[in-house]
């Protein structure tokens, strides 16, 4: 699949220095994979389709690094959503499994799929216990969400196809059936580099964007939603959900050495980046964020103890001083804003269940509005 147009391709002026791919895979070792499920048209027949959904897999250390812990933290802006495994994240600050994102009613099969993959490829890890991280947003406007279309093997496929390098955005993976600001939304990513003395670190963001009402949409400080309100079937039709419902999942990755609480602090800055795109945070939007650091490999691993501890049996963490965290906070806000815009710009008009239509963001109209400013 060819890479869709991105926000910067439209001349949108965005701050900060990006990594080479301007994506979360600019963080060394991070891999992303998709399973995209598109099938059928016409009236909804629960269990049969139409299908507009999928699975996204993010592997902080790639497939080979599953089982090697990362420092991690999470934050919920609004809890009308799900991210499994977060109680263990809160307890230990440790993440050692792939992170999967899908639709609301497919969390279970994806959770099982992660376990199936680890049982096959990391049996020693599976011999203890597994608490996979699976997050979701709701795609029922376009997708037969109550049908059992996402199966464990689709989660396995997303993990198996995960790769470094450029990431396709828009209607792919878990973002396939999602909407953002009543335009076609989905998967988006961006990155920022941060200088630290002689070192350069990367902060990457990946979003599954399925939030916001049309009137809220703001691009680089310019309110554009009302001016782009002509084609708005999602909010104008007799539809059960209120404007702004849906949810957003954001995954942050960095190779900067951070404590788990510092990862949580990064996750708490995600809403500031989302707010730059206009959202005020709907009650019906589950907004849940996770951040991880790939530094200090294995220092936070948890496993059953064997024998007595030796003289050198200690974990050691190297981390950025708290007083020097501001550049990383700025990188999060900038990358999250751009990742959302990339998801919107990559979106293409999609028709799903019951001929529900989600229009793609009109590029030319947006550019004209921005030029007027």
Active site residues: 247, 285, 287
The counts of H helices and E strands in the chain are 8, 16
- Asked if 132 and 98 count as a contact pair (C-beta separation under 8 A), the reply is yes
In this structure, are residues 34 and 55 in contact, taking their beta carbons and an 8 Å threshold? yes
Are 278 and 342 within 8 A, CB to CB?
Answer: no
Q: How many CB atoms lie within 10 A of CB 368?
A: 11
Residue recorded with tokens 């849940």: 288
Pair 246, 139: CB distance under 8 Å: no
The DSSP string of 45-109 is: BTTTB-EEEEEEEEETTTGGGTTS-EEEEEEEEE-SS-BTTHHHHHHH-EE-S-EEEEEGGGHHH
Which residue, 191, 56, 74, 227, is CA-closest to 137?
56
Whether the ω angle into residue 71 lies within 30 degrees of 0, i.e. cis, is no
**DSSP state string for 325-337:** -HHHHHHHHHHHH
Whole-Å CA distances, 68 to 9, 121, 300: 37, 14, 8
Query: By three-state DSSP, how is residue 157 classified?
Result: helix
Token representation of residue 233: 């079937």
Letter string b/e over residues 326-338, b meaning 16 or more CB atoms within 10 A of that residue's CB: ebbebbbbbbbbb
Largest CA distance in the chain: 70
**Rounded to whole angstroms, how far apart are CA atoms 7 and 220?**
11
């Amino acid at each position: 699949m060819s890479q869709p147009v991105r926000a910067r391709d439209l001349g949108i002026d965005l701050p900060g220095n990006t990594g080479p791919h301007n994506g979360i895979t600019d963080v060394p070792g991070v891999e992303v994979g998709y399973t995209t499920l598109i099938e059928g048209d016409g009236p909804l027949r629960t269990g049969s389709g139409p299908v507009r959904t999928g699975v996204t897999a993010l592997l902080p250390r790639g497939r080979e690094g599953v089982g090697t812990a990362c420092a991690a933290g999470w934050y919920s802006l609004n809890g009308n959503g799900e991210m499994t495994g977060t109680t263990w994240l809160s307890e230990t600050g440790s993440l050692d499994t792939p992170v999967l994102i899908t639709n609301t009613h497919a969390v279970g099969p994806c959770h099982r799929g992660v376990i199936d993959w680890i049982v096959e490829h990391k049996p020693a890890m599976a011999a203890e216990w597994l608490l996979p991280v699976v997050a979701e947003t709701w795609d029922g406007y376009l997708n037969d969400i109550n049908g059992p279309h996402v199966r464990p093997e689709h989660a396995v496929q997303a993990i198996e196809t995960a790769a470094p390098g450029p990431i396709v955005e828009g209607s792919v993976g878990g973002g396939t059936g999602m909407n953002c600001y009543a335009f076609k939304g989905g998967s988006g990513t961006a990155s920022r580099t941060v200088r630290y003395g002689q070192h350069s670190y990367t902060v990457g963001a990946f979003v599954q964007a399925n939030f916001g009402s049309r009137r809220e949409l703001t691009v680089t400080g310019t309110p554009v939603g009302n001016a782009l309100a002509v084609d708005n079937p999602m909010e104008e039709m007799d539809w059960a959900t209120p404007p702004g419902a849906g949810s957003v999942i954001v995954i942050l990755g960095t190779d900067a050495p951070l404590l788990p609480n510092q990862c949580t602090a990064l996750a708490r800055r995600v809403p500031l980046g989302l707010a730059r795109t206009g959202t005020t945070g709907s009650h019906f939007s589950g907004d849940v964020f996770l951040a991880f650091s790939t530094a200090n490999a294995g220092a936070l691993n948890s496993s059953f103890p064997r024998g007595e501890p030796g003289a050198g049996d200690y974990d050691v963490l190297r981390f950025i001083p708290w007083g020097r965290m501001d550049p990383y906070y700025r990188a999060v806000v900038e990358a999250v804003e751009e990742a959302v815009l990339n998801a919107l710009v990559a979106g293409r008009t999609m028709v799903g269940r019951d001929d529900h239509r989600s229009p793609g963001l009109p590029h030319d109209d947006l550019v004209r509005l921005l030029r007027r400013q």
